[in-house]
Amino acid sequence: MVVLLAIAGILEGFGVAAIVPLLEIMVRPDTQPSDGLAATVSDVFGWFGLPFTLEVVLVALTGVFVVKALVAYGAVFQVGTVVAGVSRDLRLRLLRAVVAARWQHTLQYPSGFIGNAVSGETSITAQAYREACQVLAELIQVAVFVTVAFLISWQTATASVVVGAGILFMFRGVVDRARRAGQTQTHTLRDILASLTDALPSLKPLKAMHREHYLLPRLEEGTNRFFRAQRAQIALQELIYKAQEPILLGAMAFGLWLVLRFDAAQATDLMVLALLFYRTVQTLTNIQGRWTTVRVGETAFQSLMEHIDAAEAADEHHTASGELRAPPLGQSIAFDDVWYDYGEGPVLKGVSGDIPAGRFVTIVGPSGSGKTTLTDLVSGLMRPTEGHLRIDGVDMARIDLKSWRDQVGYVPQEPMLFSDTVRSNVTLGRSDASDEDVEKALRAANAWEFVSALPKGVDTRIGEGGQNLSGGQRQRLAIARALVGEPRLLILDEPTTALDGAAEKEVCDALAGLHGELTILAISHQSAIRDMADDVWTLSGGRVRDRTTASAPAPLDA
Ligand SMILES: Nc1ncnc2c1ncn2[C@@H]1O[C@H](COP(=O)(O)OP(=O)(O)OP(=O)(O)O)[C@@H](O)[C@H]1O
């Protein structure tokens, strides 16, 4: 890219230099130039055996600019490829890091932050990168112009550099202020998107109560702050471009006056010098304008890199994964004085107890008592702050989390179905899941009957979020999805809370069929799920206050 840009710059320099002989011929068509740049160019023509005539000079000049255009296009194409590649690589790095990060890390970020980083910040960064490439191209061009100017008159070349540097110096504060305006935009946009992502799911109840205006002031405040920062940035950036032209023309007028008054330069050389001076200083000021965009983009880049670095540092397979493969859960999941703290005081306070393999354990307790936290520790999404969790006697800290989670099926309260086929929703990309596996899982989840009655069976597409299915059907698909990998442990977080009596019964029938086949750990307030359990743990204030056993442990084939 840099080589192409350099060649394009040099060709443009040649083109500008070639204007001198052209003017010379136009002014004095019948005489060969004897000094100045025109004489040098005439000599170069002579080496190639070309006559120094108007036609030959015109053709040569056109040729130089055609080649320059082609090379410049090649350079721009290369810049485009590199810039698009930079934003793709940054996006992929961020997405991979976010997906691989520890759950505690993911919890810290509103999803709007990630959305903004993937769409906004990567685009601004790519734009800044592109401008940085242009800055490089224009610096090369300035170097060529200054060299050509030196060949004609070192005074003009020096004057161009001094005037250009002076203008850059005068406007350096403006660049800094534009960068700060860019920083405000980056942070404000991130906050707006975070608020919006929080707000949208609550829009329905707010509208239903005519309280939607509650959202607007928060979004409006951010939007107005963004407007002010954007306006400031545009005004400052344009100031750099617009204010420099009069300064530049003033300097040129003064330079021309000096040369004409005290120097006997040839008129043709003088015109080219004026052109070179103008182009050099103008290119330098362009560079400053572009540099402002680079500095503005730098803040988005920094913010993006902070997300990427933090997510990469939180990669759970580097930071929290043990060296042992998970045991097959043939004996128990044991809690040994487990504490957990999100950072605002402990929410689990010394939980101890066994979940024997093959048992159905239901956890009940008031809201906020730590039930979900407990199941998140069991699935390895989080690590105990203190104490130990053991699978068949092996400390989970020593277990490879991937191999453990391969044995876990998880059913949340609100299943998130993708707008895809039933099959894809059940297999979730497991290429080794056969038709038989899908059918078996759907049958076990008490879902086969309704799925086989769909127009295309398992190949029927379900609408976004599964909206054309009933709540009970969605939940049974979520259970089938959890079962298709033949887990040894099924975790259910309030699986029937959002369902009516009939739908709850369908889900309970599915769970009854699974009872004794694998270990089940359910959180539920519903009596139906509690009554099915072998053991019921009552959690309150982060402690297990009560433990009742309904029946003897069922044997499990490990
Ligand atoms: N990501 C988090 N950051 C900080 N505190 C949290 C976080 N998640 C949960 N908590 C706090 O931890 C405590 C236990 O929460 P948890 O979700 O485990 O309770 P729960 O019994 O499942 O509640 P519910 O029945 O309402 O779902 C609560 O006080 C909650 O505010």
Task: Tell me, in angstroms, the distance from the centre of ligand 1 to residue 374's CA.
Answer: 10
**Is residue 324 domain-resident?**
no
pLDDT in tens, 440-453: 899 888 888 889 88
Nearest CA to ligand 1 atom 29: 368
Residue of 109, 362, 373 to mutate, ligand 1, most atoms within 8 A of C-beta: 373
Choose the weakest-confidence range: 214-218, 269-273, 397-401, 431-435.
269-273
Pocket of ligand 1 contains residue 227 by CB under 6 Å: no
Mind listing the pLDDT tens digit for each residue in 89-103? Answer: 999 999 999 888 888
In this prediction the ipTM stands at: 0.96
Residues 72, 273: Cα–Cα separation, whole Å: 24
Closest among 442, 436, 448, 496 to 472, alpha carbons compared? 496
Ligand 1 centre to CA of 126 (Å) is 39
Cα of 347 to ligand 1 centre, how many Å?
8
Q: What is the CATH number of the domain that holds 386?
A: 3.40.50.300
Nearest atom in ligand 1 to 373's CA: 18
Q: Is the domain of 308 the same as that of 338?
A: no
Asked if residue 558 is part of any domain, the answer here is no
Give, using CA atoms, the residue closest to atom 1 of ligand 1.
Answer: 107
Q: For position 97, which CATH number holds?
A: 1.20.1560.10
Tokens 């890390």 — which residue?
105
Domain boundary among 258, 293, 317: 317
Ligand 1 mean position to 370 CA, how many Å?
6
For ligand 1, whether the C-beta of 373 sits within 6 Å is yes
CA angle (73 as vertex; 69, 77 as ends), nearest 5: 175
Which atom of ligand 1 lies nearest, measured to the CA of 376? 18
Residue 410 pLDDT grade (very low, low, confident, very high; cuts 50, 70, 90): very high
**Is the per-residue pLDDT at 520 higher than 90?**
yes
Q: How far is the CA of 521 from the centre of ligand 1 (A)?
A: 18
| Residue 337 predicted with pLDDT over 90 | yes
Q: Are residues 419 and 501 in the same domain?
A: yes
Residue 373 Cα to ligand 1 middle (Å) = 7
Say yes or no: 281 and 403 in one domain: no
Q: How far, in Å, is the centroid of ligand 1 from the Cα of 108?
A: 14
Same domain, 247 and 341: no
Q: Residue 470 and residue 261: Cα distance in Å, rounded? A: 91
**More confident position, 336 or 219:** 336
Smallest CA-to-CA distance from 19 within 50, 58, 46 is with: 58
Task: Determine phi and psi for 385, rounding to 5 degrees.
Answer: -70, -35
User: Which residue, by CA, sits nearest to atom 13 of ligand 1?
Assistant: 368
Ligand 1 binding pocket includes 345 (Cβ within 6 Å) = no
Residues 391-418 have a mean pLDDT of 87
Q: Which amino acid is at 174?
A: V
The Å distance, Cα 369 to ligand 1 centre, comes to: 7
Is the distance from CB of 426 to CB of 480 less than 8 angstroms?
yes
pLDDT tens sequence across 471-514: 888 888 998 998 888 899 999 998 877 677 777 777 788 788 88
Among protein residues, the one whose CA lies closest to atom 7 of ligand 1: 342
For ligand 1, atom 4: residue with the closest CA: 342
Distance (angstroms) between ligand 1 centre and the Cα of 372 equals 7
Ligand 1 in reach of 108 Cβ (< 6 A): no
Residue 430 lies in a domain: yes
Q: Which two tokens stand for residue 53?
A: 């005539």
User: Per the structure, how many domains does the chain have?
Assistant: 2
Whether residues 389 and 466 fall in one domain: yes
Kindly list the distances between the CA atom of residue 212 and the CA atoms of 55, 110, 200, 209, in Å, as whole numbers in the listed order: 74, 21, 10, 8
The answer to whether residues 123 and 213 belong to one domain is yes
pLDDT at 462 over 80: yes
pLDDT at 202: 72
Residues 370, 289 within the same domain: no
Domain shared by 356 and 310, yes or no = no
Query: Whole-prediction pTM value?
Result: 0.72
Compare 109 and 226 and report the one with higher pLDDT: 226
CB distance 375 to ligand 1 below 6 Å: no
Flag whether 371 is in a domain: yes
Of the candidates 286, 317, 348, which is a domain's last residue?
317
Tell me the pLDDT tens digit for each residue of 127-145.
888 888 888 888 888 888 8
Lowest mean pLDDT among 178-187, 270-279, 314-323, 524-533: 314-323
| Residue 557 maps to a domain | no
**Judgement on whether residues 281 and 340 belong to the same structural domain of the protein:** no
The per-residue pLDDT for 558 is 38
Q: What is the pLDDT of residues 289-322, one digit of tens each?
A: 888 888 888 888 988 899 899 999 888 776 556 7
- Domain-embedded: residue 170: yes
Judge whether residue 1 has pLDDT over 60: yes
- Give the number of the atom of ligand 1 that is nearest the alpha carbon of residue 370: 18
How would residue 49 be classed by pLDDT, with cut points 50, 70 and 90? Answer: confident
Interaxial angle between packed helices 2-27 and 54-100, expressed in degrees from 0 to 180 and rounded to the nearest 10: 160
User: Does some domain include residue 6?
Assistant: yes
* CA 371 to ligand 1 centroid distance, Å: 8
Residue nearest to atom 16 of ligand 1 (CA): 370
Q: Is 367 in the pocket of ligand 1 (CB under 6 A)?
A: yes
242 and 351 share a domain?
Answer: no
Tell me: do 84 and 213 sit in the same domain: yes
452 contacts: CB under 8 Å, gap ≥ 6: none
Distance 98 CA to ligand 1 centre (A): 22
Asked whether residue 323 is assigned to any structural domain, the reply reads no
Instruction: Select from 277, 293, 317 the last residue of a domain.
Output: 317
Supply the range of the domain harboring residue 204.
Answer: 2-317
Are both 385 and 501 inside the same structural domain? Answer: yes
Supply the angle between the helices 172-199 and 216-262 in degrees, to the nearest 10.
160
Read off the tokens for 168: 């850059």
